[in-house]
Amino acid sequence: MKVAFFSTKSYDISSFEKHNTGNHEIIFYESTLNTKTAKLTQGCDAVCAFVNDHLHERTIKLLSEYDVKLIAMRCAGFNNVDLKAAATENIKVVRVPAYSPMAVAEHASALILTLNRKTHKAYNRVREGNFSLERLTGFDLYKKTVGVVGTGKIGQYFIKIMKGYGCNVIAYDLYPNDAVKALGVSYVSMDELLEQSDIISLHCPLTEDTHHLIGKEAFSKMKKGAMLINTSRGALIDTVEAVEALKNKTLEYFGIDVYEQEEKLFFRDLSENIIMDDVISRLISFPNVLITSHQGFLTHEALDKIAEVTLGNLTAFETEEHLENEVAI
Ligand code: NAD
């Protein structure tokens, strides 16, 4: 198969080159896939895309005109793909359903520990010869209530980590799971989760129902001084309302690996540019906000698995095998 890879970085290229044993001809593009770059797929059988590529109806129509037959997402989420348009154009969509749920769960826990114990600030202070402990006081995680929204693959690893710290874990999911209950977790309503949690961590997908799941109303129900962590998808949170919640101190800690408007910012070095997004600039200005740029997945193990499964998906399509990782509409 000849495959155009979009939004590629050095770490994508090295892991795909390591795992592609010559079966597929890969062209790596740094640019995002959108209506302007779709023409780069000319002569290709498939595209391989990532979280911020634009696979909207118009792009998909163009892909079809260039005779692309497969969209291989090298990620778990597919909220940026218009599945109906793909089906209309007879283009199949495959993904990597689980590459390392541990990687994302561990990153969520890293955000919690860093925000709480302020290790990022301590690191900078000590390097400047400032050994003061003023304003570095944290809290014990032991016996704190952690609310987990979405108890799928990542949510379950995250629960095990938080249980390891001795936290009381409660959860909300549309489909409560017995394996989660067996870990000693009680399922509660979303309102109860908001009211009772000291820390809330989001691990559900972005869908029409979960868009701005955490908005003005949800913030008004939260415990004063709560910590909110999002390693799932940015638009689960209404970020403008998050800024208000930080200002009125409902939120005392905010840790995000994903951001609603991340596609114009994340995965790029903009250190010499002027940031035009006032909301993220405001967020960055808070001392109790920690932002990482969608790196939850970024471990060696996850990159290996992403490459192996994506290349397997391409081969399965080429050899007309059952597409076990096809995204159904
Ligand atoms: P999963 O499908 O295994 O689990 C998702 C869970 O959310 C399921 O239990 C599902 O029932 C539940 N859910 C669905 N709709 C819900 C709703 N309206 N309210 C509450 N729960 C709901 O998915 P996963 O592998 O655990 O991944 C979770 C999310 O993490 C993905 O959708 C993706 O957006 C995100 N993710 C982020 C990164 C990163 O690098 N930061 C990497 C991988 C995945």
pLDDT digits (tens, 9 = 90+) for 193-251: 999 999 999 999 999 999 999 999 999 999 999 999 999 999 999 999 999 999 999 99
Contact indicator for 231, 106 with CB cutoff of 8 Å:
no
Give the span between the Cα atoms of 80 and 73, in whole angstroms.
10
- Same-domain check for residues 195 and 235: yes
Tell me what pLDDT residue 325 has.
Answer: 97
What distance in angstroms lies between residue 258's CA and the mean position of ligand 1's atoms? 13
Distance CA 211, CA 234 (A): 9
Mean pLDDT of 50-66: 96
Task: Kindly state whether residue 282 falls inside one of the protein's structural domains.
Answer: yes
Residue to probe by mutation, ligand 1, list 107, 154, 233, most atoms within 8 Å of CB: 154
In angstroms, the CA 219 to CA 216 distance is 5
Average pLDDT over residues 306-328: 96
In a domain, 32, yes or no: yes
> Where are any strands of DSSP class E within the chain?
2-5, 25-28, 46-49, 70-73, 92-94, 145-149, 168-172, 186-187, 199-202, 226-230, 251-256, 289-291
* Residues 235-287 pLDDT 10s: 999 999 999 999 999 999 999 999 999 988 999 999 999 999 999 999 999 99
Residues 87 and 227 in one domain: no
Asked if 44 contacts 27 with a C-beta cutoff of 8 angstroms, the reply is yes
Please state the rounded mean pLDDT for residues 118-133.
Answer: 98
Helix (H, G, I), strand (E, B) or coil at 253: strand
Q: Whose CA is nearest to atom 12 of ligand 1?
A: 150
Q: Structural domain tally of the chain?
A: 2
Ligand 1 midpoint to CA 150 (Å) = 6
Quote the CA–CA distance of 55 and 38 in Å, as a whole number: 10
Q: CB of 226 within 8 A of CB of 255?
A: no
- Give pLDDT, residue 114: 98
Range of the domain at 207: 101-291
Whole-number Å distance between alpha carbons of 168 and 197: 9
Q: Is 208 a domain residue?
A: yes
Q: Whose Cα sits closest to atom 4 in ligand 1?
A: 152
Query: Do both 194 and 261 map to the same domain?
Result: yes
Does 54 qualify as catalytic in the annotation?
A: no
**Which amino acid makes up residue 299?**
T
